[in-house]
Amino acid sequence: MLRVELEILKDWIRPASRVLDLGCGDGTLLEALTASHNIEGYGLEIDPDRITACVQRGVNVIETDINLGLGHFQDDSFDTVVMTNSLQALLRPDRTLAEMLRVGKECVVTFPNFGNIQARAYLGLRGRMPVTKQLSYQWYDTPNIHFCTIRDFEVLCRDLNIRILDRATVASNPVSEQLMGIWPNLFAQTAIYHLSKPPTGLSSSDSQNSPPTTP
Amino acid sequence: MTTPFPANSVGLVTPHTIHFEEPLELACGRVLPHYQLMVETYGELNHAATNAVLICHALSGHHHAAGYHSPEDRKPGWWDNYIGPGKAIDTNRFFVVALNNIGGCHGSTGPRTENLATGKPWGRDFPPLRARDWVHSQARLAAKLGINQWAAVVGGSLGGMNAMRWALEYPDRVRHCVVIASAMKLSAQNIAFNELARSAIKSDPDFHDGDYLSHDTLPRQGLALARMIGHVTYLSDELMGTRFGRELRQGTFERGMEQPIEFQVESYLRHQGDVFSEVFDANTYLLMTKILDYFDLAREYDDDPVTAFRHALSKFLVISFTSDWRFSPERSREIVDALIAANRDVVYANIESNLGHDAFLLPNARYEAVFKSYMDNVARESEQLLRNAG
């Protein structure tokens, strides 16, 4: 994950809180949050080499297939459930999101924005599935099977009655960074969301679902 | 000079008998007035005693976990794959303590050893034990060796239960608890397999209700059958398929030929049973299987493993194997879930293997990578504590 993503994400994690990281990779994020926020963190990962890397870092890694759900965890057993750059690799992102909000009081989700102009241009002009530095796989060997755009994601949040507390976006260059403020779905390379369950007592129709302005 | 042992072996080792004169009060209410433990150690204890690792053996295990007893030995100790210089439990960095538990039949006080009150072997009169009795006897061993706190208590299967009990009985004396292919309690199916084994032993006419030593005989048949039953459950269907398949050791199915047929797997199992029945004690087997059956980590903690683990202060490494159906990955995952809910540090890996329960004893690159990575951190921590001690 990018350093700038980490800096944004850090603001949404409370010190000494319990954090579950889905698809924790080599444990970099949990290690950083433990150092900066003294969190009690656990990471779920399925890749053997990444699990070993986590062990080497001293990160609490639990071998788990996230696609099978989070049935091992009680409701609200974590303060924050984080998932960076894994949403697009899930079998059913909608179900996992719902599970994350069951297990965590709040969630942080980051994903590559497929509505990005580079992706659009790649497909629109070259007529081929986008292959970028960030997403360097070919269409047939990619683990990323459920790409979405910022707009797609917010529609899903509305449908699942998920409350968007905050949104941040990251661009790949200074020009995009300027334009991203106006057209996030066109210029953001990565989207970072801070989510929670709807406030109790509100039905889905009147819950607060409009995204906040981009910081 | 060339040594007859591999370079990454602890080499020649000698077991020691350590005597304990202080009576040991057992969970069953009886008292062992004195007892002895058969112990092997590998590596060196540093002067602040921060690098000690306790190895807890499984059902049929003993003190000989690594190395060789003589240059002629064909096979090293039972966990030599993971204990030695540069191995997961690195004897260049750790002081490793392996013992035969009380109730065992490899030199520690058990049904085979003499009951000084009667002048005869304990036999069937040996008191029933619980895992916590082992823990208490091991705690005294630690004291005798000058070990105030284990860097890690490590065990597979029944040994994993032993290790978890340590973490609950003496929380401040265990820094890391390594639980491999184990469970917080046995399932009904698992108890059933143990009862089959016990029935096999008890139905041997030579068993004499456990008093076979007075009759100058041994229930070899029964013990061999018990081992055969156990052995089948420690392997996987796939492994037996690839290792033996339907291959015949003798006979033929050809028409017109009437010959006794023996499958390879039959001969293999019989051999395993026969060898085992020569070296193991039937009363010990009964006792050990009951320790397994009676173990219930959370019994004294309102049957809530989360409450139980809240008493632990150590960090945990939990490992299971995909094809282990005797101590399935689900059982390990229950341990992990309880530890997470209890806010304890834990690492969990479910190792892909087709070797069944026995996988925890056998070489496996991924198992070794996880195990060694974890233990390397434990070693670093031990060395840091040593530096802090000055």
Nearest CA in chain B to A77: B341
pLDDT tops 60 at residue B379: yes
A204 lies in a domain? no
Q: Does A55 touch chain B (CB under 8 A)?
A: yes
For residue B152, give the nearest of B132, B129, B180, B131 by alpha carbon. B180
Q: Which residues contact B127 (CB under 8 A, 6 or more apart)?
A: B26, B28, B30, B32
Place of tokens 């750790």: B94
What whole-number distance in Å separates Cα of residue A27 and Cα of residue B41? 35
For residue B377, give the nearest of B313, B333, B315 by alpha carbon. B315
Place of tokens 């029944």: B158
pLDDT, residue A207, reads 42
Place of tokens 């019989």: B270
A201 lies in a domain? no
pLDDT confidence tier of residue B2, bands split at 50, 70 and 90: low
The enclosing H or E element of A193 equals strand A190-196
User: Burial level of A143, CB count in 10 A (0-12/13-18/19+)?
Assistant: exposed
Residue range B74-79: average pLDDT?
96
Residue range A162-182: average pLDDT?
93
pLDDT in tens, B182-210: 999 999 999 999 999 999 999 999 999 99
The ipTM value here is 0.94
Question: How far apart are the CA of B334 and the nearest CA of chain A, in angstroms?
Answer: 8
pLDDT, residue B157, reads 98
In chain A, where does DSSP find H-type helix? 3-10, 28-37, 48-57, 93-103, 117-126, 150-159, 174-180, 184-187
Among A73-82, A171-180, B63-72, B277-286, name the one with the lowest average pLDDT. A171-180
- Cβ-nearest to B347 among A18, A40, A60: A60
Find out whether B223 and B282 touch, Cβ atoms under 8 Å.
yes
Chain B residues in contact with A40 (beta carbon < 8 A): 343
Nearest CA in chain B to A16: B343
Catalytic annotation present for B176: no
The widest CA-to-CA distance across chain B, in whole angstroms, is 82
- How many residue pairs from chains A and B have C-beta atoms closer than 8 A? 49
First to last CA, chain B: 37
What whole-number distance in Å separates Cα of residue B58 and Cα of residue B39? 15
Place of tokens 């033929």: B252
Q: Which two tokens stand for residue B10?
A: 């602890």
A137 lies in a domain? no
pLDDT, residue B4, reads 81
Q: How many domains does chain A have?
A: 1
A67 lies in a domain? yes
Catalytic annotation present for B311: no
Please answer yes or no on whether A54 and B347 come within 8 Å at the CB atom.
Answer: yes
pLDDT, residue A172, reads 87
A24 lies in a domain? yes
pLDDT confidence tier of residue A132, bands split at 50, 70 and 90: confident
- The residues that bridge with B223 in the sheet, in sequence order, are none
B94 or A129, which is more confident = B94
Q: Does A74 touch chain B (CB under 8 A)?
A: yes
Q: Which residues contact B26 (CB under 8 A, 6 or more apart)?
A: B32, B127, B128, B129, B130, B133
pLDDT in tens, B336-373: 999 999 999 999 999 999 999 999 999 999 999 999 99
**Share above pLDDT 90 across residues of chain B, in percent, rounded to a whole number:** 95
User: Which residue range forms the structural domain that includes residue A29?
Assistant: 3-113+148-196
For residue B82, give the nearest of B70, B69, B94 by alpha carbon. B94
Chain B residues in contact with A51 (beta carbon < 8 A): 349, 370
pLDDT tops 60 at residue B159: yes
pLDDT, residue A201, reads 52
- The residues that bridge with B32 in the sheet, in sequence order, are B24
First to last CA, chain A: 20
pLDDT in tens, A62-108: 999 999 999 999 999 999 999 999 999 999 999 999 999 999 999 99
Among A193-197, A202-206, B200-204, name the one with the lowest average pLDDT. A202-206
Q: Between vectors from CA B76 to CA B75 and to CA B78, what angle results, nearest 5°?
A: 105
State the virtual CA torsion across B221, B273, B232, B108 in degrees, nearest 10.
100
pLDDT confidence tier of residue A2, bands split at 50, 70 and 90: low
pLDDT, residue B258, reads 82
CATH code of the domain in which A98 resides: 3.40.50.150
Full set of structural domains in chain B with CATH: 16-185+296-389 (3.40.50.1820), 194-288 (1.10.1740.110)
Catalytic annotation present for B199: no
Q: Average model confidence (pLDDT) for chain B? A: 96
pLDDT, residue A1, reads 62
Q: A52 vs A49, B138, B350, CA distance in Å?
A: 5, 31, 12
pLDDT tops 80 at residue B60: yes
Picking from B332, B339, B344, B373 by the largest number of A CB atoms within 10 A of its own CB, the best residue to mutate is: B373
Find out whether A157 and A195 touch, Cβ atoms under 8 Å.
yes
The widest CA-to-CA distance across chain A, in whole angstroms, is 49
pLDDT, residue A199, reads 74
A106 lies in a domain? yes
A206 or A166, which is more confident = A166
pLDDT confidence tier of residue B140, bands split at 50, 70 and 90: very high
Chain A residues in contact with B304 (beta carbon < 8 A): none
pLDDT tops 60 at residue A204: no
A208 lies in a domain? no
Find out whether A134 and A110 touch, Cβ atoms under 8 Å.
no
Among B198-212, B219-233, B247-261, name the one with the lowest average pLDDT. B247-261
pLDDT, residue B1, reads 47
